[in-house]
Amino acid sequence: MSITSSNLHDLTVAHLAYKLRNKDVSAVEVTQHFLARSHAAEHLGAYLAFNDEFSLSQAKAADVRIAAGDLSPLTGVPIAHKDIFVTKDFPSTAGAKMLGGFYSSFDSTVVNKFAGEGMISLGKLNCDEFAMGSGNENSAYKKVLNPWDMSRIPGGSSGGSAAAVAARLTPAATGTDTGGSIRQPAAFCGITGIKPTYGRASRYGMIAFASSLDQAGPMARTAEDCALLLSAMCGPDLDRDSTSLDVPAEDYTRSLNDSIEGLRIGIPKEFFGDGLSADVRAAVDAALKEYEKLGAKLVPISLPRTELSIPVYYIVAAAEASSNLSRFDGVKFGHRAQNYTDLNDMYKKTRAEGFGDEVKRRIMIGTYVLSHGYYDAYYLQAQKIRRMIADDFQQAFQLCDVIAGPVAPTVAWKLGEKSSDPVANYLADIFTLPASLAGLPGMSVPAGFGEGNMPVGLQLIGNYFSEAKLLNMAHRLQQATDFHTQKPEGI
């Protein structure tokens, strides 16, 4: 592709990095280009905050590094961060009124690592309040529109990240996935996203939702880009995150082109039942056929407790959320009610005003399932079944190397369609929750189009630390198909 300043946004991270290294374009030019596009796309609702002066100062520093030959594979490439990662130079809100205008005194580890590579932060991306949601309609600030069809949701909770990448407002974004929030919006917006093994990327400075599930990951257009980004964001952070794994960072780009001849892909029958819509099924089946052409074998498997992952997740995640969100009391940081009579009244009014409906719902459910008399019946049961779900995966991995299926039962739904029905939202998470509960890596790869010409994602789930294999599989599919290169009309 010949580049001009007008189509820089069509380049992938890998291609942009190459052009920057070659000095075909400067980091300042690239940054100005993406900032201008991002500012002009206000109507999509993808961003919550910019700091152009700061972004351009990072770009100038990247150009100095490039001139000096002091490079990493990502130097000079822009990225935008889900507003769950705290940052010194942009407000950090988690999409919540409770944290309106909040500035952190430090940068989260993931943001720091990308800055250390010489990447440029373009801004903060919209998300569901405290990452609770599947459609980004729970943001306290604004809705995000799906660039493929602006009457539809982009997915959630990393909806701003997915929409921004799909609309070419940034070549890459960070996301977080507690129960599917990287994979599902990636699928709904036709991009690629990976959630690594739990503990692989540091949670330090990620505003906590459910700490035993929360995991950061990259969202970009291609598996190659995700491999570059994931290589930079993983690695131990033992002093700062008690669940960070003591496993050195890896270079995930090295095995992208490996052959997948003879690879056994497990097809869980529970992912292909009645709940799966025909259009998504057709696209997923076609992608699986591509894998067969590449020499992989499809193996039928069972994940018998797939349905139980919904109640288990919505008990465990709510329980942890109720505890994590107790820190928002109007004293330490964030919103504080204006008028109150005493300390208790201040707590009550602050939390009543600062939290939205879905967050309150989860705090109430979480407090209930942890309360004396109900703990054994709900929380403890859920923890036991969570273990069984993880064991089911280990059984399955006796028969196969990786697991594949749909990311979500349908394509992106219409704005407002499920917003008054929380349970309908929860049910749509069925295929992403099992891997989250087991702490396994999972990814979404563009696999074609369904109803309304909306993107469909293929989900790949691997055993612990198999990120390189998932990225390799996704890359091989992307060499055989062109779904990941297609873009929404008018973009």
- Under the rule (CB under 6 A), what is the footprint of ligand GLN? 131-134, 157, 177-181, 209, 317, 429
Cβ-based nearer residue to ligand GLN, 193 or 334: 193
CA–centroid distance for 98 within its chain: 22
Partnered with residue 172 across adjacent β-strands are 220
Is there a cis peptide before residue 157, judged by omega within 30 degrees of 0?
yes
Find the distance separating the first CA and the last CA of the chain, reported in whole Å.
17
* Smallest separation (angstroms) from ligand GLN to the CB of 179: 3
The set of residues, in sequence order, having a beta carbon less than 8 Å from that of 211 and lying 6+ positions away, is 203, 243, 320, 324
Catalytic residue, from 82, 113, 124, 143: name it.
82
* Smallest separation (angstroms) from ligand GLN to the CB of 184: 7
Cβ-based nearer residue to ligand GLN, 209 or 378: 209
Please give the Cα distance from 259 to 356 (Å, whole number).
48
Cβ-based nearer residue to ligand GLN, 49 or 127: 127
Please give the Cα distance from 213 to 435 (Å, whole number).
10
Cβ-based nearer residue to ligand GLN, 188 or 209: 209
Active site residue 82: yes
* Smallest separation (angstroms) from ligand GLN to the CB of 132: 5
Among 207, 196, 177, smallest CA distance to 236 is for 196
Active site residue 157: yes
Q: Could you identify the residue written with the tokens 């990240």?
A: 161
Please give the Cα distance from 183 to 185 (Å, whole number).
6
Question: Three-class SS of residue 85?
Answer: strand
Cβ-based nearer residue to ligand GLN, 194 or 301: 194
* Smallest separation (angstroms) from ligand GLN to the CB of 271: 17
Catalytic residue, from 55, 134, 157, 419: name it.
157
* Smallest separation (angstroms) from ligand GLN to the CB of 263: 28
Active site residue 360: no
Check: CB of residue 13 under 8 Å from CB of residue 74: yes
Strands 78-82 and 442-449 come out as unpaired
Cβ-based nearer residue to ligand GLN, 270 or 429: 429
Strands 215-220 and 192-195 come out as antiparallel
How many Cβ atoms are within 10 Å of 309's Cβ, its own excluded? 26
Catalytic residue, from 134, 158, 181, 444: name it.
181
Question: Three-class SS of residue 106?
Answer: coil
Check: CB of residue 443 under 8 Å from CB of residue 319: no
Question: Three-class SS of residue 200?
Answer: coil
- The two structure tokens encoding residue 427: 């049910």
Q: Which amino acid appears at position 212 of this protein? A: S
* Smallest separation (angstroms) from ligand GLN to the CB of 276: 18
Cβ-based nearer residue to ligand GLN, 145 or 315: 315
Please give the Cα distance from 460 to 462 (Å, whole number).
7
DSSP secondary structure letters along 281-312: HHHHHHHHHHHHHTT-EEEEE--TTTTTHHHH
* Smallest separation (angstroms) from ligand GLN to the CB of 362: 8
* Smallest separation (angstroms) from ligand GLN to the CB of 158: 7
Sheet containing strand 455-462, strands side by side: 47-49, 120-125, 78-82, 172-177, 215-220, 192-195, 442-449, 455-462, 402-406, 264-268, 297-301
Check: CB of residue 129 under 8 Å from CB of residue 122: no
How many Cβ atoms are within 10 Å of 114's Cβ, its own excluded? 26
Cβ-based nearer residue to ligand GLN, 188 or 271: 188
Cβ-based nearer residue to ligand GLN, 177 or 467: 177
Cβ-based nearer residue to ligand GLN, 146 or 157: 157
* Smallest separation (angstroms) from ligand GLN to the CB of 422: 9
Question: Which residue number has the CB closest to ligand GLN?
Answer: 181
Where does residue 389 rank: exposed (0-12), middle (13-18), buried (19+ CB within 10 A)? buried
* Smallest separation (angstroms) from ligand GLN to the CB of 199: 16
Active site residues: 82, 157, 181
